[in-house]
Structure 1
């Protein structure tokens, strides 16, 4: 494998814009552990090896159990995730695969049972942000442990 380019060096303005999105999410009040669940699940769906590796490591640093990290791709089949987390994971999948079925009303209501309107928008922005990072990583050839 070979890194195609270092995107932060190739276009510092684009990289700074991404960092501003991260700053918004991190100062929004969104639980950092929930944000890492979003990041890891979207990265799994998108097939971004660099981001899967990075976010699994970050979750370990935050004290997440190895079992919850390993079983995230099959979260529907295990009781390890809370109802709030399940709603967010389902939303993450729907927004990441938005062209498949959009965000159905029942899913919107499921998420809104746990989050107000402003928090819902923050969740969408969090999902959008990791999807954008995934696309940057994949398109520029990033892989675990690459020198990006």
Structure 2
């Protein structure tokens, strides 16, 4: 089956501009063209784009996807490195979950600081204006500086 870029976009839920970008970046091979210069994508290109999109849904960046595609096209070494890649993503997700749990607790504490009074008496606004004493903010600031 051969489809034009608009049909490919509809089939996959990927924007046309993103498909063109993936071509430019070499993730998708240059498609054949019609006499009118329309791009035509075959089954291999469709499967490759679906693979790319699936990887993106799993949080992989374009460099990682490029490595996976290169390996998939020519598997000449062990695939152990893929386990390492996935383990790194699992650790990233664990960090994100931890950060979100801390954020949730902080938001809960903010929620209980407002009694519905006037603006000048709102505990939430006072807390949000006092970021120097925000333990959550300080923890996130330290965490970011350690990652750099």
TM-score range, shorter chain: under 0.3
Q: TM-score, normalised by structure 2?
A: 0.27
Greater relative contact order (Cα 8 A, min sep 6): structure 1 or 2? 1
The structure that has the greater radius of gyration is 2
